[in-house]
Structure 1
Amino acid sequence: MIIETGSNQRYIFATNKQRLQVAASAAVWQLGFVWIEEAIRGVALSYCRDLAEFEYNARDKRSVMHVVKASGRAVLLVHTAEDGRAIITAVTRRALEEKTGIDVWGRVSEPIDAGFETAGDRFFETDVLLREQRTKRLPPTVRFPTLPFHEQCAYTGLPAATVGKEVVGENPKARSDVTEFLFEKATGARQRLLNELHGEEVGLTSEEQTTAKRCTVQMDQMWDGVRNNGWVAAIHADGNGIGKIFANLRITYPDGRTFVEKQKELSDALEKLTWKALRDTVLGIDRTDQNKGRTVWPNRSILPIIVGGDDISAAAHGGIAFEFAALLVANFGHYARADELGLPFITAFDDIRAKLPTLDDVPKQLSLAVGLVFTKPNHPFSHSISLAEELTSSAKKHSKRRTGAIDSLVLYESAVRGLADIRDLMTIPEGRTEDDDTNPPTTAEAPGKPVFSYAGKPIIVNDEHGELMTVGEVRKLIDELSPRPDADRPAEQLPGQHHAADSVKTLSRRQIQDLRPALTEPRTLAGVTDQLRLVRARIDLSGNQIPGIVAEELRIDPAAGKDSTMFVTALDLAVVRAGTVEGNARANDDNPVPTAATT
């Protein structure tokens, strides 16, 4: 049998209040990890996680095996359909009675044969029927109908059921039942994340615990949120290759017992691997660099919001977010390649290739794709994280899910738009002429084939790729496009900033800024080429030279496959790393400037 939650991201980010987002994420996580076990024991059944124990108890038919233990999803083995329905009833009743707002449902399969030979087929059938069942069910919003005389919740727009204050002295605000549930669970949910990150039980030294507590937002700091330099980043990370494994698991392992054991092994290892990589990243440890040094993140610069399975969502200080994301991807890849937690996945990928040699894009190991969105601090976080999810999908697509990658966007505007709409305006479609230059058609109106884009492409982490730049190459490009430090004082460096002592600036700040509109303002390819030619001519007359790595990104040749540039992306990342005057002044009041690495 399978129990699953739906519309998780919509549920978690239905409000911009981060306390409620954390609580909603924890509620989905608890359903898969806590509620299932409590429901099993609540209907007087015995809980187990061992197949041999489950089969041994077949005589009294009172045990249940929890096969897949994941956030918002559970796969169970039960001896009778009645037991399965009782567990589903207990879980769904709890979701309703506690007014959680979670969309959850379940499905019991047809009986599996005594020898477990049909286990894979039954799982596949049940999963298909579970998704079919979802389309026939009413959405959870019908539980909370909004009538004309209802006051709306100040946080979610659902009908209000009560009022409450967040802090002493504040005016009461209308709250829905769901919002009230989340407020009650928010403190415990945040504490669980912090305990998993740096609690005494996770094996960190006292010094490491102190370091992790210093750079993450703690319970008594939640009112002020994540520290920033005028820019805040929304980070969303998701694993590559997980779907490829589970979609082909029953074909790869036709033996039913092996299929069940593999499901359990993989789901358990994934959660542990993700937390291991995140803890190291928060501590600034680079496992791919023989642990030679540690990056020191600024105080209160990281705010985890969701950690479950291979999913991570967080808010971060804008000045360190790119380096933080790169380190997270690198550490995840290290453990996926060189740790016992990654071994089951390497074995599974090998077995899939052996069993299904014609299957395309099967990676050698797990990796992480990250979407990174930079905005001003007051921008709606739910919109930022939605864009970050779309960027994660873009990173997966361009890297073909074979290696870790980051796709980023710096959002200067306050408008709330989707990624496709934003990047449409960064692309010159095929066939565009000067006639439609002033009113460029959108992709929806005139699809065509893209000719040139200044949106950039995803960035590869600790690997090689024929078409995409690596993190190291992008760092060099950022350094060349960063403002020159004052000559009369030492440069203040954020993690990853290298130009202070070992790079010679060959372009002035004004010349760098002149290159940006030459790429972004013309609406035809010919216009871009002409504007670049003019700016280059002025640079030549000044006696300066364009560095080679910058010149390569200014080369536009769609016929030769050079149909995009990373220049604007790198320049935006340089702007974000430098921060705003107001943001830096505020952050420096109580936060020392971090160094690139320290022993």
Structure 2
Amino acid sequence: MYVVMIGTAGNQRYIFSSGKRQEIVGASDLIARVNGAWADEAMASVFPGFEPSWRVGDGHDAELLTAGAGTITALVRNRDAGRRLVTEVTHRALAEAPGLHVCGVVVATPEPVNGIGMTKARTELAAVREARPGPQARFLRLPLAEDCASTGLPAQALHREGRDEPFRTRSAASMAKLRHFPAALDRLAGDAETDRSTMREIVDRLGLEADWVAVVHADGNGFGDLFRTLGSLVDGDQAYADALRTLSRGVDACARRAFRVALDRTAREPEAVTVSGRPPVLPLVLGGDDLTVVCEGASALPFTRHYLEAFEEETANDVSLRPMLHRLERPSLGAAAGVAIVKRNYPFRFAYDLAEELISVEAKRVKEWGSALAFTVLFESSAPDLSRIRRSATLAGGSAASASPYLVGQGADGPRAERRRWADLLRRVEALRRTDPVSGELLIPRGAVHDLREGLCLGAEVARARFALLRTRFAGDRARLDALAELEGDPGQLVWTDRSGDEERTVTGLMDAMAALSFLPVKEGGR
């Protein structure tokens, strides 16, 4: 028996190597084809008559275990057949997706479907990736070639985006992505339960009209450990294979349903931005526990919150996952998300790196508590560095200022989530946005809010003094001002001590509320 594992690498770099929306969308479709149409056709070619219902335990020559997010795992009885399977997929990628890194391994093991066999295959695949030259090595600079205007790779052709646009140089990778753009629109329309014309409008809006856009990346909490320990939860090789397949497909189905639920809920938000009734959201990666979307800035935070909550709900209610969750003694599966909101023309590859860093540094810090989202709004044009961004607004003495991440879903009900629940962020934003019902003017002027922020940068006591002066100035609306305070019975306190990490930090939610002010519309009284 042999484990065949084929996977893509550097997916986000491949998707965001260009700032052109059509190329980004086309790249996401090519990755989806690796574990989709290309995998199906390769299995049928190597194993005539193959059906997804095949099981090696029933005497068949192959069994498909998982297929999602650019990765395929299968069991085969013959080593040469496994190698032909790898060859079919990788040759297809070389021909139709130049620049995409795809490789595979065939690993012999006495017990191919247990956790040890899968771990061995993953380890060998990582070693093969490391040893092989990267995709950049395929694009030689001799003989000399002009650079692609989109990716910087050697140009292969001339292309113009519109009838009145000039011809520009394009590389083989860029042309492949552009060719797959129409098919990608159909796939995205299916994911979002809309039509191709609406998806095209969304692409145009994000590329030409939106002032702020966001890259949202979400990743499951503890899924790596779950897959690695799966063998200890079941008895027998076939039971392990069935559990692995069920878990993989179940999580994938839950993520897709959660995505659609999040779109519907986002469209019903107050002051929601929509295109033909759908939020301007492009799902670039939607498979397994991974989600990467590009969306308009005003939709980013509500969509992310709704997705995380819907993902918990869907995994809790999924019949196929229920036995596994029962063994794990968990009511549902959670996820962490990073949201990087940037200007429309900002390089997406930097925005994605920032979203990924928000997950690993902040959102994953509280993964034991439940689903969480961390966000930042980038007001500068330099390459982002999260630690520098957070240090740029610190309290006197160097303590961190941001209260990020924020807990949503079931984790927000726990006592540890106090003051960093989604409802807490909404409370602060609503306090800053409240207007006089007669004049329409802000009850808390922006100048006063920035004065508080300056006080926070000078120290907690300075902020307390300035807040006391503000309460005296606006004595008629102290209740609204006190909504900014963090400690019950102490209306002057804008900071608190956070103990969620390895060390205590003094944090505040005011900075986050100010950053989210333009991207998180709320109705009177909060939500």
Which residue does 1:181 correspond to in 2? 176
Contact 2:5 2:71 in 1 (8 A): yes
Q: Distance in 2 between matches of 1:146 and 1:428?
A: 50
Q: CA deviation at 1:55?
A: 3.3
1:302 is aligned to 2:280: yes
Counterpart of 1:55?
57
Distance 1:227 1:213, change over 3 A: farther
Distance, in Å, in 1 between the alignment partners of 2:195 and 2:403 is 35
Q: Secondary structure at the match of 1:408?
A: strand
Contact 2:486 2:496 in 1 (8 A): no
1:266–1:344: 8 Å Cα contact kept in structure 2?
A: no
Which of 550, 564, 568 aligns to 2:511? It is 568
Tell me the CA shift for residue 485 of structure 1.
Answer: 5.2
| Residue 192 of structure 1: how far off its partner (Å) | 0.7
Which residue, 529, 535, 542 being the options, matches 2:466?
Answer: 535
Equivalent in the alignment of 1:201: none
**Structure 2 CA distance for partners of 1:42 and 1:96, relative to 1, 3 Å:** same
CA–CA distance in structure 1, aligned partners of residues 97 and 307 of structure 2: 36
Are positions 1:516 and 2:453 aligned together? Answer: yes
Q: Is the 8 A contact 2:460 2:494 kept in 1?
A: no
- Please identify, of 461-470 and 510-519, the stretch whose mean Cα deviation from structure 2 is larger: 461-470
Structure 1 counterpart of 2:379? 412
Tell me whether 1:425 sits opposite 2:392 in the alignment.
yes
Tell me which residue corresponds to 1:15.
18
Measured against aligned partners, the alpha-carbon deviations of 1:11-32 in whole angstroms (never above 9, x if no partner) come to 1111111221221122112101
Give the aligned residue type for 2:507.
S
The answer for the alignment partner of 2:490 in structure 1 is: none
Aligned-partner residue type, residue 330 of structure 1: E
Residues 229 and 145 (structure 1 numbering): CA distance in 2 closer, same or farther, change over 3 Å? closer
TM-aligned CA deviation for residue 164 of structure 1: 0.8
- 8 A Cα contact 2:47 2:62, kept in partner: no
Q: Which residue type is aligned with residue 373 of structure 1?
A: A
Contact 2:280 2:299 in 1 (8 A): no
Instruction: Summarize the Cα distance change of 1:404–1:228 in structure 2 as closer, same or farther, 3 Å threshold.
Output: farther
Task: Specify the alignment match of 1:464 in structure 2.
Answer: 413
Residue ranges of structure 2 left out of the alignment (5+ in a row): 488-492
Inter-partner Cα distance in structure 1 for 2:345 and 2:451: 29
| Larger deviation, residues 264-273 vs 321-330 | 321-330
**Cα gap change, 1:170 to 1:248, in 2 (>3 Å):** same
The residue type paired with residue 12 of structure 1 is I
Q: Deviations along 1:157-212, whole A, 9 cap, x unmatched?
A: 111111111111211111111111111011101211112321xxxxxxxxxxxxx5
C-alpha displacement of 1:461: 0.7
Equivalent pair of 1:506/1:547 in contact (CA under 8 Å) = no
Equivalent residue for 1:98, pick from 96, 99, 122: 96
Match of 1:500 in 2: none
Amino acid at match of 1:418: D
Instruction: Kindly provide the amino acid, as one letter, of the partner of residue 193 in structure 1.
Output: L
SS of the residue 1:326 aligns to: helix
Q: Map of 1:496-515 to 2, 5 A cutoff?
A: 507-515=444-452
> Secondary structure at the residue paired with 2:345?
coil
Q: TM-score by structure 1 length? A: 0.76
Describe the shift of the 1:549–1:109 C-alpha distance in structure 2 as closer, same or farther (beyond 3 A): same
**Partner residue of 1:397 out of 364, 367, 370:** 364
The one-letter amino acid paired with 1:278 is F
Change (3 A) 1:220 1:453: closer
Instruction: Please tell me the residue identity of whatever aligns with 2:406.
Output: I
Native 8 Å contact 1:302 1:317 kept in 2: yes
CA distance in 1, matches of 2:358, 2:327: 27
Say if 1:419 and 1:228 are closer, same or farther in 2 by CA, change over 3 A. farther
Q: 1:274 Cα shift? A: 0.9
Asked if 1:25 is matched to 2:28, the reply is yes
Q: Closer, same or farther in 2 for the Cα pair 1:344/1:189, shift >3 Å?
A: farther
CA–CA distance in 1 between the matches of 2:463 and 2:299? 31
Assess, with a 3 A threshold, how the Cα gap between structure 1 residues 529 and 120 changes in structure 2: closer, same or farther: closer
Equivalent position SS for 1:171: coil
Paired with 1:28 and 1:559, the residues of 2 have a C-alpha distance of 41
| Change in 2 beyond 3 A, CA 1:566/1:488 | closer
CA distance in 1 between counterparts of 2:88 and 2:350 reads 34
Residues 272 and 299 of structure 2 are in contact (CA less than 8 Å); yes or no, is this contact kept in structure 1?
A: yes
SS at match of 1:319: helix
- Structure 2 partner of 1:4: 7
How far apart, in 2, do the equivalents of 1:557 and 1:395 lie?
17
Shift of 1:344: 5.1
Q: Does 1:385 align with 2:364?
A: no
What is the distance in 1 between the residues matched to 2:269 and 2:496?
Answer: 41
Aligned residues: 501
Instruction: Give the stretch that moved more between structures: 325-334 or 385-394.
Output: 385-394
The code of the aligned residue for 2:341 comes to F
Partner of residue 482, structure 1: 433
Contact 1:240 1:369 in 2 (8 A): yes
Q: Identify the residue that residue 453 of structure 1 maps to in structure 2.
A: 400
Following TM superposition, by how much is the alpha carbon of 1:541 offset from its aligned partner in structure 2, in angstroms?
4.5
Amino acid at match of 1:151: E
Residue 171 of structure 1 corresponds to 166
Query: Aligned runs of 1:152-167 on 2, under 5 Å?
Result: 152-167=147-162
The percentage of counterpart residues that share the same residue type is: 24
Q: Deviations over 1:69-117 (max 9, x none)?
A: 112111111110010001111111111223431111111121445xx7x
Q: Is the 8 A contact 1:519 1:528 kept in 2?
A: yes
Deviation (angstroms), 1:345: 4.7
Q: Give a deviation string over 1:489-520, Cα, whole Å, max 9, x none.
A: 7x9xxxxxxxxxxxxx8744432221012223
CA deviations 1:435-481 (Å, max 9, x no partner) are: xxxxxxxxxxxxxxxx5212222111132341551111211111111
d(CA) in 1 for partners of 2:47 and 2:239?
A: 28
2:311 matched residue in structure 1:
332
CA contact (8 A) 2:337 2:374 kept: yes
Alignment partner, residue 231 of structure 2: 250
Alignment correspondent of 1:45 = 48
- Hey, what's the Cα distance between the residues in 2 that align with 1:408 and 1:285? 17
Residue of structure 2 in register with 1:551 after alignment:
485
**Partners of 2:297 and 2:312 in 1: how far apart?**
23
TM-score, with structure 2 as normaliser: 0.86
Q: CA RMSD in A?
A: 3.0
Partners in 1 of 2:385 and 2:320 — Cα distance?
Answer: 36
Whether contact under 8 Å (1:337, 1:343) holds in the other structure is yes
Alignment of 1:11-410 (within 5 A): 11-50=14-53, 52=55, 54-58=56-60, 63-112=61-110, 119-147=114-142, 149-198=144-193, 217-220=198-201, 222-225=203-206, 230-284=211-265, 297-300=272-275, 301-306=279-284, 307-340=286-319, 342-343=321-322, 345-347=324-326, 349-350=328-329, 364-410=331-377
Aligned counterparts of 2:450 and 2:215: Cα–Cα separation in 1: 26
